[in-house]
Copies of this chain bind each other. A is one copy, B any other.
Amino acid sequence: MIKNYKIVLQYDGSRYDGWQKQGNTGNTLQGKLEGILLKLTGRPVEVHGSGRTDAGVHALAQTANFHADTGMTEDQIRAYFNQYLPEDIAVLSVETVPDRFHSRLNAVKKTYLYRIEMGPKKDVFERKYCYGLGKPLSVKRMEEAAACVLGEHDFKSFCGNKKMKKSTVRTISDITFEKEGTKLLIRYTGNGFLYHMVRILTGTLIEIGLGERSPQEMKEILLKLDRQAAGFTAPPEGLFLERVMYEDRE
Protein backbone atom coordinates (compact mmCIF):
# COMPACT_ATOMS: atom_id res chain seq x y z
CA MET A 1 0.00 0.00 0.00
CA ILE A 2 1.31 3.44 -0.89
CA LYS A 3 1.76 5.58 2.18
CA ASN A 4 2.98 9.12 2.75
CA TYR A 5 6.07 9.22 4.95
CA LYS A 6 7.48 12.24 6.75
CA ILE A 7 11.17 11.97 7.54
CA VAL A 8 13.40 14.19 9.67
CA LEU A 9 17.05 14.24 8.70
CA GLN A 10 20.36 15.63 9.72
CA TYR A 11 23.23 16.32 7.37
CA ASP A 12 26.67 17.80 7.17
CA GLY A 13 26.29 19.76 3.92
CA SER A 14 30.04 20.32 3.46
CA ARG A 15 30.54 17.98 0.52
CA TYR A 16 27.14 18.30 -1.16
CA ASP A 17 25.87 20.53 -3.95
CA GLY A 18 22.86 21.46 -1.82
CA TRP A 19 19.46 19.87 -1.37
CA GLN A 20 17.93 20.01 -4.82
CA LYS A 21 18.51 17.38 -7.48
CA GLN A 22 20.25 18.73 -10.59
CA GLY A 23 19.42 16.53 -13.55
CA ASN A 24 21.77 13.58 -13.68
CA THR A 25 24.70 15.50 -12.30
CA GLY A 26 25.31 16.92 -8.88
CA ASN A 27 25.87 15.30 -5.57
CA THR A 28 22.70 16.40 -3.77
CA LEU A 29 20.80 15.41 -0.64
CA GLN A 30 17.59 14.86 -2.57
CA GLY A 31 19.46 12.71 -5.07
CA LYS A 32 21.01 10.55 -2.31
CA LEU A 33 17.63 9.92 -0.67
CA GLU A 34 15.86 9.17 -3.95
CA GLY A 35 18.64 6.78 -4.93
CA ILE A 36 18.02 4.75 -1.78
CA LEU A 37 14.24 4.75 -2.30
CA LEU A 38 14.76 3.50 -5.86
CA LYS A 39 16.80 0.63 -4.47
CA LEU A 40 14.20 -0.04 -1.76
CA THR A 41 11.03 0.11 -3.89
CA GLY A 42 12.33 -0.68 -7.36
CA ARG A 43 10.76 2.44 -8.82
CA PRO A 44 11.44 6.21 -8.87
CA VAL A 45 10.15 8.05 -5.80
CA GLU A 46 10.24 11.82 -5.48
CA VAL A 47 11.36 13.25 -2.14
CA HIS A 48 9.93 16.68 -1.26
CA GLY A 49 12.08 18.76 1.10
CA SER A 50 10.71 21.51 3.35
CA GLY A 51 13.09 23.83 1.57
CA ARG A 52 16.26 23.80 -0.48
CA THR A 53 19.46 24.21 1.43
CA ASP A 54 22.40 25.55 -0.60
CA ALA A 55 25.72 23.87 -1.21
CA GLY A 56 27.68 23.65 2.04
CA VAL A 57 24.68 24.44 4.27
CA HIS A 58 23.89 21.97 7.05
CA ALA A 59 20.69 20.64 8.61
CA LEU A 60 20.12 19.68 12.22
CA ALA A 61 16.53 18.72 11.39
CA GLN A 62 15.42 19.03 7.78
CA THR A 63 11.97 17.64 7.02
CA ALA A 64 10.95 15.84 3.83
CA ASN A 65 8.14 13.56 2.66
CA PHE A 66 7.59 10.95 -0.02
CA HIS A 67 4.83 8.59 -1.17
CA ALA A 68 5.91 4.97 -1.50
CA ASP A 69 4.92 1.37 -1.06
CA THR A 70 7.77 -0.06 0.96
CA GLY A 71 6.26 -3.06 2.72
CA MET A 72 8.29 -2.02 5.75
CA THR A 73 7.57 -0.54 9.16
CA GLU A 74 8.64 3.01 9.92
CA ASP A 75 11.55 1.73 12.01
CA GLN A 76 12.65 -0.58 9.21
CA ILE A 77 12.60 2.29 6.70
CA ARG A 78 14.71 4.43 9.03
CA ALA A 79 17.19 1.57 9.50
CA TYR A 80 17.30 0.96 5.72
CA PHE A 81 18.11 4.62 5.03
CA ASN A 82 20.80 4.73 7.69
CA GLN A 83 22.36 1.53 6.39
CA TYR A 84 22.79 2.90 2.87
CA LEU A 85 23.25 6.62 3.47
CA PRO A 86 26.82 7.97 3.68
CA GLU A 87 27.91 8.80 7.20
CA ASP A 88 27.33 12.54 6.80
CA ILE A 89 23.56 12.06 6.38
CA ALA A 90 21.28 10.50 9.00
CA VAL A 91 17.53 9.88 9.07
CA LEU A 92 16.42 10.70 12.63
CA SER A 93 12.79 9.63 12.30
CA VAL A 94 10.22 8.20 9.87
CA GLU A 95 6.50 8.72 10.45
CA THR A 96 3.39 7.84 8.43
CA VAL A 97 1.39 11.02 7.80
CA PRO A 98 -1.95 11.84 6.11
CA ASP A 99 -1.87 11.60 2.33
CA ARG A 100 -2.16 15.34 1.75
CA PHE A 101 0.78 16.28 4.01
CA HIS A 102 3.53 18.15 2.12
CA SER A 103 6.73 19.03 3.93
CA ARG A 104 7.12 22.39 2.16
CA LEU A 105 3.54 23.52 1.62
CA ASN A 106 2.45 22.65 5.17
CA ALA A 107 5.47 24.11 6.93
CA VAL A 108 4.34 27.00 9.13
CA LYS A 109 7.66 28.21 10.46
CA LYS A 110 11.34 27.45 10.10
CA THR A 111 14.31 28.27 12.27
CA TYR A 112 17.78 28.76 10.84
CA LEU A 113 20.88 29.01 13.00
CA TYR A 114 23.96 30.94 11.90
CA ARG A 115 27.22 30.42 13.85
CA ILE A 116 30.03 33.00 13.86
CA GLU A 117 33.46 32.70 15.51
CA MET A 118 34.48 36.14 16.80
CA GLY A 119 37.71 35.02 18.47
CA PRO A 120 41.07 35.54 16.73
CA LYS A 121 42.14 31.89 16.86
CA LYS A 122 40.93 29.47 14.26
CA ASP A 123 39.44 26.27 15.70
CA VAL A 124 40.15 23.44 13.26
CA PHE A 125 37.21 21.40 14.56
CA GLU A 126 34.77 24.20 13.70
CA ARG A 127 36.14 25.05 10.25
CA LYS A 128 33.15 23.56 8.41
CA TYR A 129 30.51 24.48 10.98
CA CYS A 130 31.19 28.11 11.75
CA TYR A 131 32.03 31.31 9.89
CA GLY A 132 35.52 32.28 11.07
CA LEU A 133 35.11 36.04 11.21
CA GLY A 134 37.84 36.45 13.85
CA LYS A 135 36.67 39.91 14.97
CA PRO A 136 34.46 41.07 17.85
CA LEU A 137 30.89 42.09 17.06
CA SER A 138 28.60 44.50 18.90
CA VAL A 139 25.54 42.38 19.63
CA LYS A 140 23.72 45.47 20.87
CA ARG A 141 24.03 47.15 17.44
CA MET A 142 23.00 43.92 15.70
CA GLU A 143 19.93 43.51 17.93
CA GLU A 144 18.88 47.07 17.20
CA ALA A 145 19.18 46.45 13.44
CA ALA A 146 17.47 43.05 13.62
CA ALA A 147 14.42 44.60 15.27
CA CYS A 148 13.83 46.60 12.04
CA VAL A 149 13.21 43.51 9.92
CA LEU A 150 10.85 41.69 12.30
CA GLY A 151 7.31 41.23 10.99
CA GLU A 152 6.00 41.11 7.41
CA HIS A 153 8.14 42.90 4.83
CA ASP A 154 9.17 42.74 1.22
CA PHE A 155 12.66 41.23 1.55
CA LYS A 156 13.72 41.88 -2.06
CA SER A 157 16.93 43.57 -0.85
CA PHE A 158 17.85 40.31 0.88
CA CYS A 159 17.06 38.01 -2.03
CA GLY A 160 20.03 36.46 -3.86
CA ASN A 161 17.96 35.52 -6.91
CA LYS A 162 17.90 38.53 -9.26
CA LYS A 163 15.33 36.93 -11.53
CA MET A 164 12.89 36.14 -8.70
CA LYS A 165 9.41 36.50 -10.21
CA LYS A 166 7.27 35.37 -7.27
CA SER A 167 6.48 37.41 -4.17
CA THR A 168 9.43 38.40 -2.04
CA VAL A 169 7.20 39.18 0.95
CA ARG A 170 8.00 37.10 4.02
CA THR A 171 7.40 37.31 7.77
CA ILE A 172 10.24 37.01 10.26
CA SER A 173 8.80 36.34 13.70
CA ASP A 174 12.00 36.24 15.70
CA ILE A 175 15.75 36.89 15.54
CA THR A 176 17.74 35.97 18.64
CA PHE A 177 21.40 36.35 19.57
CA GLU A 178 23.27 34.04 21.91
CA LYS A 179 26.93 34.19 22.95
CA GLU A 180 28.65 30.86 23.48
CA GLY A 181 32.24 31.57 24.52
CA THR A 182 33.72 33.53 21.62
CA LYS A 183 30.97 32.36 19.26
CA LEU A 184 27.85 34.27 18.33
CA LEU A 185 24.78 32.21 17.44
CA ILE A 186 22.02 33.99 15.52
CA ARG A 187 18.65 32.25 15.11
CA TYR A 188 16.09 33.39 12.53
CA THR A 189 12.50 32.14 12.72
CA GLY A 190 10.02 32.95 9.98
CA ASN A 191 7.34 31.62 7.67
CA GLY A 192 9.78 31.23 4.79
CA PHE A 193 13.10 32.48 3.53
CA LEU A 194 14.16 33.61 0.05
CA TYR A 195 17.25 32.36 -1.78
CA HIS A 196 20.33 33.37 0.30
CA MET A 197 18.09 35.49 2.56
CA VAL A 198 19.50 34.26 5.89
CA ARG A 199 23.06 34.61 4.64
CA ILE A 200 22.51 38.16 3.29
CA LEU A 201 20.73 39.19 6.52
CA THR A 202 23.68 37.76 8.46
CA GLY A 203 26.26 39.49 6.26
CA THR A 204 24.45 42.81 6.70
CA LEU A 205 24.14 42.33 10.48
CA ILE A 206 27.87 41.51 10.64
CA GLU A 207 28.74 44.78 8.84
CA ILE A 208 26.58 46.61 11.38
CA GLY A 209 28.09 44.67 14.30
CA LEU A 210 31.59 45.59 13.09
CA GLY A 211 30.65 49.29 13.01
CA GLU A 212 30.92 49.57 9.21
CA ARG A 213 27.24 50.52 8.94
CA SER A 214 24.80 52.02 11.41
CA PRO A 215 21.91 49.96 12.86
CA GLN A 216 19.48 52.50 11.38
CA GLU A 217 20.59 51.59 7.85
CA MET A 218 18.76 48.27 8.16
CA LYS A 219 15.40 49.95 7.64
CA GLU A 220 16.70 51.93 4.64
CA ILE A 221 18.11 48.78 3.04
CA LEU A 222 14.76 47.04 3.42
CA LEU A 223 12.90 49.94 1.78
CA LYS A 224 15.27 50.13 -1.21
CA LEU A 225 14.13 46.72 -2.53
CA ASP A 226 17.58 46.36 -4.05
CA ARG A 227 20.11 43.58 -3.37
CA GLN A 228 22.94 46.08 -3.93
CA ALA A 229 21.85 47.99 -0.83
CA ALA A 230 22.36 45.07 1.56
CA GLY A 231 25.59 43.57 2.88
CA PHE A 232 27.66 40.59 1.77
CA THR A 233 26.40 37.01 1.59
CA ALA A 234 27.79 35.27 4.68
CA PRO A 235 29.43 31.93 3.79
CA PRO A 236 27.44 28.66 3.84
CA GLU A 237 29.47 26.78 6.46
CA GLY A 238 27.98 28.76 9.35
CA LEU A 239 24.36 28.01 8.38
CA PHE A 240 22.14 25.24 9.78
CA LEU A 241 18.46 24.52 9.14
CA GLU A 242 17.55 23.87 12.76
CA ARG A 243 13.83 23.20 12.84
CA VAL A 244 10.74 23.06 10.63
CA MET A 245 7.39 23.52 12.38
CA TYR A 246 3.96 22.34 11.25
CA GLU A 247 0.46 23.20 12.47
CA ASP A 248 -0.89 21.17 15.36
CA ARG A 249 2.55 19.77 15.91
CA GLU A 250 5.32 20.72 18.23
Mark A residues whose CB is within 8 Å of B.
Answer: 10-12, 58, 82, 87-90, 92, 121-125, 127, 129
Partner of A87, one of B10, B121, B124: B124
Residue pair B124, A88 in contact (C-beta under 8 Å): yes
Q: Please, which residues of chain B bring their CB within 8 A of the CB of A122?
A: 82, 87, 90
Question: Please, how many angstroms separate the alpha-carbon atoms of A88 and B122 in the complex?
Answer: 10
Residue pair B125, A12 in contact (C-beta under 8 Å): yes
Partner of A124, one of B11, B123, B125: B11
Closest Cβ–Cβ distance, residue A179 to chain B (whole Å):
20
Residue pair A123, B87 in contact (C-beta under 8 Å): no
Residue pair B125, A87 in contact (C-beta under 8 Å): no
Question: Please, how many angstroms separate the alpha-carbon atoms of A123 and B125 in the complex?
Answer: 15
Q: Please, which residues of chain B bring their CB within 8 A of the CB of A87?
A: 122, 124, 127
Q: Please, which residues of chain B bring their CB within 8 A of the CB of A10?
A: 123-125
Q: Please, which residues of chain B bring their CB within 8 A of the CB of A124?
A: 10-12, 87-90
Question: Please, how many angstroms separate the alpha-carbon atoms of A136 and B32 in the complex?
Answer: 31
Complex A-B, nearest 5 residue pairs according to Cβ-Cβ distance, in ascending order: A12-B124, A90-B124, A90-B122, A87-B127, A10-B124
Question: Please, how many angstroms separate the alpha-carbon atoms of A123 and B61 in the complex?
Answer: 11
